[in-house]
Amino acid sequence: MNNLTKDNKQQTYSSWQFRPAEWRVVLVLGDFIVALIALFIGLYFWGIGDIWFGFSAQFLKVRVPEWFYAMPLVWILLLLELYDVHRLGDWQATVKGIGVATLIGFGLYLVIFFSVTNAPRSMLPRRGVAGFVISASLLSLLWRYLFYYFLTTRQFLLRRAVIVGAGRTGKVLLRVLTTVKPSPFIIIGFVDDDNDKVGKNIDGYSVLGDSSQLLAIIQEHQVTDLLVAILGEIGGTMFQSLLDAQERGVDVTNMTTVYQELLNRVPIEYLDANWLLRSFAEEAHKSIFYRMAKRVLDVAGGMVGVTFLAVIFIPIALAILLETGLPIFYIQTRLGRGGKPYRMIKFRTMRQDAEADGKPKWAEENDERVTRLGRFLRKTHLDEIPQFVNVLLGDMSLVGPRAERPELVESLQKTIPFYRARLLVKPGITGWAQLNYGYVATVKDTMVKLEYDLYYIKHRSLLMDILIILRTPWTVFGFRGR
């Protein structure tokens, strides 16, 4: 298997199989095409009910307002929560997500319909909107079912990967690859230079050989990807074999990149300080233009939030007073950027004696310290609206890691690697970790959430901030607070 011909050595491997990020593009394009079909259906059902023009070119010219043609883009925005390709296998979450998008779509229309009093009702067509939203919902469900079906039943669409390194890191990577559904790879097996591992079976996959056999393994199994799961220094022979494979057109990707690509978080247990300095701290200093744009976004969002706070303050304050009395607000010291303490303000949702012993405690599921009104405020995240004042003051941002108490930071940084790295940016009202993982109640949960926080800090951009803000209403409509 080691004796390759000269022609074989010059062979390059090319593949039309998509990577996870590319599958996401396919998913979005499919949703957009579905939304265009739904737009036609909505126009048709609206048009056939028009007594003057029917469904005709004149109807499209005279009756249909310009905003109606933007509805496919609005539908794409409503589905933002569902663009994680590896959650397609969770059919219950898909149905729920499209259901929530449908409710939000109808809700937005009703708000506009009853608030715009000076516009003719023909400019706000109930039949057209209903036809679009219902057909878009049903067609999106059908499209996602077909998308998942083809990804899981047509193996020629998937990339073929070998994991380089059969140690602890390789096992973790294998677990990730076999957990996400659908997986973007067909796992062929392992390659490792440890002779004691060659020929062994690890979690159902064989160690096919060592670095001297790597090119032959690629040739025999038509491998498209090498996933390098080796911590520390790579041996000279293995390094050269990886370079040779890359020259053939095989994609060589390290474990941390694959982990981030599949889970949208960084593997903090499998990183060292050098990685943090190389790939994280150096990228933590974003351009002045990003910082300026982010502050403008924060001020604009803060003003909207404070305006909303003024609207809801009196009813919520009265409800808190009637149930448990004063105080209305809960003010607590949290750590901001660089570990600078600030006073965070929220509506009070717990009893006044929630921490009578003075020791900080995590909020738990069905926490008995939470009042009945507080439970509603937490589920809907209305208790966090006063934090927009902190955003205007510059203590917080709209998007960032969740603000934490100094006592918990001091405790957690002793057990969780890189925990203080989350203080490189301002805390946020919403954030990548809040959307993807929610609340935590254990050190293990905190480690997972930190992986999301560090992923955000490493990859943050204005576009990512905007997408996080657009996804945030899902946590409200989905009642995902605690």
Q: Mind listing the domains of the chain with CATH numbers?
A: 20-153 (no CATH), 158-263 (3.40.50.720), 288-477 (no CATH)
**pLDDT for res 481:** 53
**pLDDT for res 117:** 59
**pLDDT for res 23:** 85
Residues pairing with 209 in the sheet:
191
What does the chain come to in residues? 482
What angle, 0 to 180 degrees and rounded to 10, lies between the N-to-C axes of helices 71-78 and 91-115? 130
Q: Look at residue 7 and tell me whether its pLDDT is greater than 50.
A: no
Cα separation values, 153 from 148, 159, 186, Å: 9, 13, 12
State pTM to two decimals.
Answer: 0.84
162 membership: H or E segment, kind and range: strand 159-164
Query: 242-282, pLDDT tens digit by residue?
Result: 999 999 889 999 998 899 988 899 998 887 666 666 656 55
Region at 165 (left for phi over 0; alpha for psi -120 to 50; beta for the rest):
left
* Mean pLDDT of the region 125-141: 93
- Residue 162 · residue 173 · CB < 8 Å: no
* Mean pLDDT of the region 343-367: 76
**pLDDT for res 280:** 61
Residue appearing with tokens 């047509």:
154
Q: Look at residue 10 and tell me whether its pLDDT is greater than 70.
A: no
* Gap between the Cα atoms of 453 and 335, Å rounded: 15
- The closest alpha carbon to 192, from 172, 216, 211, belongs to 211
136 membership: H or E segment, kind and range: helix 126-153
Scored b (16 or more CB within 10 A) or e, 121-131 reads eeebbeebbbb
* Mean pLDDT of the region 11-34: 77
Q: Two tokens at 470? A: 């657009």
Angle at 286 between CA 281 and CA 289, to 5 degrees: 175
Residue 48: count other Cβ atoms within 10 Å of its Cβ: 11
346 membership: H or E segment, kind and range: strand 341-347
Q: Look at residue 90 and tell me whether its pLDDT is greater than 90.
A: no
Give the range with max mean pLDDT: 79-83, 100-104, 171-175, 177-181.
171-175
187 membership: H or E segment, kind and range: strand 185-191
**pLDDT for res 158:** 84
* Gap between the Cα atoms of 419 and 59, Å rounded: 60
**pLDDT for res 463:** 93
**pLDDT for res 108:** 84
- The closest alpha carbon to 163, from 188, 134, 196, 197, belongs to 188
* Gap between the Cα atoms of 140 and 105, Å rounded: 14
Confidence band, pLDDT 50/70/90 cuts, at residue 477: low
* Gap between the Cα atoms of 407 and 361, Å rounded: 10
Q: Look at residue 63 and tell me whether its pLDDT is greater than 80.
A: yes
> Which residues contact residue 93 at a Cβ distance below 8 angstroms, ignoring those fewer than 6 apart?
87
Residue 455: count other Cβ atoms within 10 Å of its Cβ: 21
* Mean pLDDT of the region 436-463: 88
182 three-class SS: coil
**pLDDT for res 480:** 58
Q: Look at residue 49 and tell me whether its pLDDT is greater than 60.
A: yes
Lowest mean pLDDT among 179-183, 433-437, 463-467: 179-183
Residue 158 or residue 293, greater confidence: 293
Confidence band, pLDDT 50/70/90 cuts, at residue 24: confident
Q: Supply the mean pLDDT for the chain.
A: 86
Percent of residues, the chain, with pLDDT higher than 90: 51
Q: Two tokens at 225? A: 């990807």
In a 13 Å sphere around the CA of 146, the CA atoms on its Cβ side amount to 11
> Which residues contact residue 458 at a Cβ distance below 8 angstroms, ignoring those fewer than 6 apart?
266, 279, 280, 283, 284
* Gap between the Cα atoms of 11 and 403, Å rounded: 53
**pLDDT for res 282:** 58
* Gap between the Cα atoms of 414 and 360, Å rounded: 16
**pLDDT for res 439:** 75
**pLDDT for res 442:** 82
- Residue 51 · residue 146 · CB < 8 Å: no
**pLDDT for res 11:** 44
Q: Two tokens at 474? A: 């899902």
Torsion 349-350-352-356 (CA) sign:
negative
**pLDDT for res 6:** 36
**pLDDT for res 259:** 92
Q: Look at residue 392 and tell me whether its pLDDT is greater than 80.
A: yes
* Gap between the Cα atoms of 389 and 329, Å rounded: 12
* Mean pLDDT of the region 71-83: 91
